[in-house]
Amino acid sequence: MNPIRYISTRGTQPPLSFFDAVMTGLARDGGLLIPDRIPNVTEQLRDWEDLDYPSLAFEIMRLFADEPGDARLRELIAAAYATFEHPEIAPIRKVGGLHVLELFHGPTLAFKDIALQFLGRLFEEILEERDARLNILAATSGDTGSAAIAGVRGQPRIHIFVMHPHGRVSPLQERQMTSVLDANVFNLAVKGSFDDCQLIMKTLFRDLPFKDAYALGSVNSVNWSRVLSQIVYYFHAALRVRAETGADQVQFAVPTGNFGDILAGWYAKRMGLPVRRLILATNENDILARFFNTGTYARGAVVPSINPSMDIQVASNFERWLYYKVERDPQAVSRLMTQFAREGRMEIPRDVRGRVDVEIVAGSSDTKHTLETIRRYHETHNYLLDPHTAAGIYVAEQYNELDDPMICLATAHPAKFPEAIATATGQDLAHHPILDAFGQAPTRCEVVDNNVEAVRAYLAARAR
């Protein structure tokens, strides 16, 4: 069978190889790159049950990546996950009646490390092979920035420019990014929201002469490699929990803002992983929860919260899901996304039961319920949740009426949010040696205006 190639959700980007898709990031027609087919792995599931995490990652990634070759792919995966402090990479803890998938044992203590430790090494491999340079432009609502920086800091062929919303990430998240003083790392605090940062990034990527002149690349979840890496932990968790419980199917509860994390679960289900349903959890910025409950995707004002990585009103990866929803019609995708850009809303038909998607259900957790969930799980189970994971678990509890095991994604170490933990528990419990070391570290960051030209000028003056 021919290797998978990558096409755009908007239809006019010529098909790309895996390496070219990684380097392109956002498709040149403004769409997102997706595989031209989704492999079915139902027959391989039994053989994968006893694989360790790196071996499972290899088996899944090789289906989508014919480059750099099997032996080298194994080496890159092994190097990426050797940076994790837990031998299982993503251990699963039984907490009450739930299974908690801990995705925060990487170097920056957030689930983004799972993808970005691999992507950083993949960039290095491609650039070395092509004797090329890359300027990464990233937008972060908190954790992507530090994970991306950790993946590429010090690499001689890469400069990375990370935008975060000024004053809207947690103090620890900000210090974790801005205390990295390597010469190839640049932090920009944009006077706006994460959505503003994301819009600036996409605008510059769509300026093709500028993108080409400055060799722009992306580490945000618009880069297909991010989604691919995250597919792996759905298989890892589902196979482990099924073996432990004897269940035929599992459920996943996923706190999400940009829709990339839950999209990876959706792809895993399409590949044949026995997942009954995916439970999408948002905070007060509930555009995705409202959409899956009403069929209306409508942008609102961003509300700052205690779980800042979910403070998003325009979810980038939504377009990938939309492509399949409209029967893989790129013209329909382009029409709907243009309408959304112009009017701030779009409508998707629901089925006779009023559902947008039978595979995804959705809910939201506000600050009150998130804090209460943190307190309750600490008191009842002696288990500390970060605010994003707590939001996911609160919503999971609203949908836990089925017998299928519930796997809840724990997306960040609680020590990244000490203020929220202290508010919820009344105690100073949220610590980790990596984060405690940032307390007195010097930082470097530049505050910039919330407009494309300010960022363009900053990048042009410092790019490779």
Does residue 8 form part of some domain? no
The tally of domains found in the chain comes to 1
Higher pLDDT: 402 or 10? It is: 10
The verdict on residue 299 lying in a domain is yes
| Model pLDDT, residue 94 | 97
Mean predicted confidence (pLDDT) in 179-204: 94
Dist. CA 307–CA 318, nearest whole Å: 20
Answer yes or no: is 124 within a domain.
Answer: no
- Residue 20: inside a domain: no
- The pLDDT-based confidence of 353 (bands split at 50, 70, 90) is low
206 burial via Cβ count (<10 Å: 0-12, 13-18, 19+): middle
Active site residues: 112
**92-95 and 98-102: which strand pairing?**
antiparallel
**Position 420 in a domain:** yes
Tokens at 87, concatenated: 């031998």
Question: Cα–Cα distance between 363 and 192 in angstroms, integer?
Answer: 26
> What does the alpha-carbon distance between residue 311 and residue 194 come to, in Å, rounded to a whole number?
7
Within a domain: 351:
yes
Q: Residue 378 domain-assigned?
A: yes
pLDDT exceeds 70 at position 352 = no
Q: What digits encode the pLDDT tens for the residues 32-55?
A: 999 999 999 999 999 999 999 999
In whole angstroms, give the CA distance from residue 402 to residue 407: 13
- Read off the pTM: 0.94
Does 439 reside within a domain? no
C-alpha distances (whole Å) from 246 to each of 26, 238, 277 are 41, 11, 18
How far is Cα 324 from Cα 347, in angstroms, rounded to an integer?
15
Residue 171 has pLDDT above 70, yes or no: yes
In DSSP terms, which residues pair with 406 in a beta bridge? 251
Tell me the pLDDT of the chain averaged across its residues.
94
Q: Does the pLDDT at position 354 exceed 70?
A: no
CATH code of the domain covering residue 402: 3.40.50.1100
Print the domain residue range for 309: 92-109+225-433
Q: Worst-scoring range by mean pLDDT, 17-26, 160-169, 330-339, 433-442?
A: 433-442
d(CA 100, CA 90): 10
Among 117-121, 268-272, 400-404, name the one with the lowest average pLDDT. Answer: 400-404
pLDDT at 221: 85
